[in-house]
Amino acid sequence: MKSRSSRSRRPRLGRLTLGGVLAATLALLIAPTGTAAAADEPVGEPSTLEVGELQPGQAFMGAGELAHEGGAIAEDSQIITPLAPTDGVQGIDVSRWQGSINWTSVRNAGIQFAWMKATEGTTYRDPNFNTNYPNAYYAGVIRGAYHFALPNSSSGATQANFFASNGGAWSADNLTLPGVLDIESNPYGSQCYGLSTSQMRSWIQDFYNTYKSRTGRDIVIYTSPSWWNTCTGSWSGMASQSPLWVAHWTTANSPTLPGGFSVHTVWQYTSTGSVSGISGNVDRNQFNGSRDRLLALANNT
């Protein structure tokens, strides 16, 4: 991994006007139980973060790496240019930060798959998930759900059950991918959530076992090499159990892998991509294989 990236910066969210404060107050009053309401509707993820800057529930894929490493999972100090849309089987990952999405436009832009945030910890449900999940399906995008892990708040089994009960389950319908465990640096506090490497390994295994029991599927693991090597001690125990989704923002032909893994299934190669149908930047991903293999992952064949 290289030094802090000087990628082009997206502006942080501005201060609320009086009208925005009133709207935010109303949103808090009507937010679904267990869902943190946003102070305003964001468009695109922040490109710079400090530890503790986000509120609980606001984490997204890569947030922890931005907060702790300033984008150090980006290679060198160059601006990361997304791969051409026609290069391989292309996908995205989204959360409430992307706002309203036109999934038909997304599919027409060549995006074949998407994972979307469903849950975080044991109390947060993404407010856009119930819209994104069916709309992606009807647009022909092979979709799945992800869970942002908070290993310091409850057991792996507890969070796996919460995830499986709130969007993370699986069905053999040709368009549903297995769920993802987003396990990365803690954007709210200490990088490894205060757990030792052995405790972190046990937590991940606990999550995997419970999700497998609930759904019959292996959980996909999203992580960065730096976090995995530091917080699990380059653990090889999941390599034979879980497909790997590696976060490495680079223009290289292939990503750096976490210790213990020899192959990746999905590669998140940039956090500053763009796709028709989505306002602002969005994470871009490449599936390591053909569309037939992507469908095999979806259908467990």
The interaxial angle of helices 197-215 and 156-163, nearest 10 deg, is 30
Nearest Cα to Cα of residue 199 among 229, 153, 231: 231
Burial 224-238 (b: 16+ CB within 10 A, else e): bbbbbbbbbeebeeb
Active site annotation includes 126: no
Active site annotation includes 182: yes
Active site annotation includes 184: yes
- Burial class of residue 104 (count of CB atoms within 10 Å of its CB; 0-12, 13-18, 19+): middle
Catalytic residue among 120, 184, 218, 283: 184
Catalytic residue among 69, 93, 120, 126: 93
Distance CA 31, CA 103 (A): 24
Burial 142-157 (b: 16+ CB within 10 A, else e): bbbbbbbbbbbeeebb
Catalytic residue among 45, 75, 126, 182: 182
Cα-atom radius of gyration of the chain, to the nearest Å? 18
SS3 285: strand
For the chain, where are the alpha helices, taking DSSP H only?
18-30, 63-69, 103-108, 129-138, 156-163, 197-215, 225-231, 291-299
| Terminal C-alpha separation, the chain | 35
Beta strands 89-94 and 111-120 are parallel
Catalytic residues: 93, 182, 184
